[in-house]
């Protein structure tokens, strides 16, 4: 995920505020707590870290775009390797 340079900043901000109030905060908190629980086990650490990355995305999903890792480069906020 990278920030979309073509986004309308005002509309993205408005969408993120509405999203945060209507459920984004609860979803981010759930991801964060699940990530912490998963990190208690050695096997769950990679899943816990990924869940914590998803918590950050759950807070502000608008104004971002899914791109391949090769295209994102250093701008990648969340990188999930493909096949």
Tens place of pLDDT for every residue, the chain, 83 residues?
666 667 777 888 898 899 999 988 999 999 999 999 999 999 999 999 989 888 888 888 887 777 777 766 666 666 555 54
- Quick one: pLDDT at residue 54? 86
- Quick one: pLDDT at residue 76? 63
pTM equals 0.70
Q: From CA 22, how far away is CA 43, in angstroms rounded?
A: 33
Per-residue exposure over 65-79, b if at least 16 CB sit within 10 Å of its own CB, e if not = eeeeeeebeeeeeee
What are the residue boundaries of the structural domains of the chain, listed by start? 26-83
Q: From CA 33, how far away is CA 41, in angstroms rounded?
A: 14
Residue 3: strand pairing partners: 64
Give φ, ψ of 81 to 5 degrees.
-65, 140
Residue 66: strand pairing partners: none
């Amino acid at each position: 995920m990278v920030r979309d340079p073509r986004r309308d900043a005002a509309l993205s901000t408005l969408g993120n505020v509405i999203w945060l109030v209507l459920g984004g905060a609860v979803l981010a908190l759930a991801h964060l707590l699940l990530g912490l629980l998963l990190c208690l086990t050695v096997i769950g650490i990679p899943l816990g870290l990924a869940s914590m990355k998803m918590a950050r995305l759950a807070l502000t999903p608008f104004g971002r775009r899914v791109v391949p890792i090769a295209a994102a480069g250093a701008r990648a906020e969340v990188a999930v390797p493909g096949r």
